[in-house]
Amino acid sequence: DTEVTQTPKHLVMGMTNKKSLKCEQHMGHRAMYWYKQKAKKPPELMFVYSYEKLSINESVPSRFSPECPNSSLLNLHLHALQPEDSALYLCASSLSSSGHNEQFFGPGTRLTVL
């Protein structure tokens, strides 16, 4: 299984809602990532988890809260988002966060904040 899965595929939420994005991989990867991608732009790194611990936070606002319940799952909890947070949210995983390890990306969750 060389796949990263993400749910939901699409999400529409109001600025006062709380929602969560989910990501799963069963490749035995110990590094997992959240990226944000705006239209016609490259992915921007948000968070890196290494061995289920948050190792990198790229100065992301606290309205985005990541969680790694186990080595296969990664969540992104959303609260009090702004319309400018609308984007494609990509999850990725790799064997480890260092070195030349391929990052496998999921299909993303298309988020719209009204």
Partner 1 sequence: GENVEQHPSTLSVQEGDSAVIKCTYSDSASNYFPWYKQELGKGPQLIIDIRSNVGEKKDQRIAVTLNKTAKHFSLHITETQPEDSAVYFCAAKGGSGGSNYKLTFGKGTLLTVNP
- Which residues are near partner 1 by CB under 8 A? 4, 40-43, 45, 48, 55-56, 90, 92, 97-100, 102-108
Compute the CA torsion angle 85, 86, 87, 88 (nearest 10 deg). Answer: 110
- The H or E element that residue 113 is part of is strand 109-113
Residue 9 CB, shortest distance to partner 1, in Å, is 9
Compute the CA torsion angle 80, 9, 53, 1 (nearest 10 deg). Answer: 180
Looking at the Cβ atoms of 7 and 98, the one nearer to partner 1 is 98
Looking at the Cβ atoms of 53 and 100, the one nearer to partner 1 is 100
Residue 56 CB, shortest distance to partner 1, in Å, is 6
Looking at the Cβ atoms of 44 and 80, the one nearer to partner 1 is 44
Looking at the Cβ atoms of 85 and 97, the one nearer to partner 1 is 97
Residue 15 CB, shortest distance to partner 1, in Å, is 26
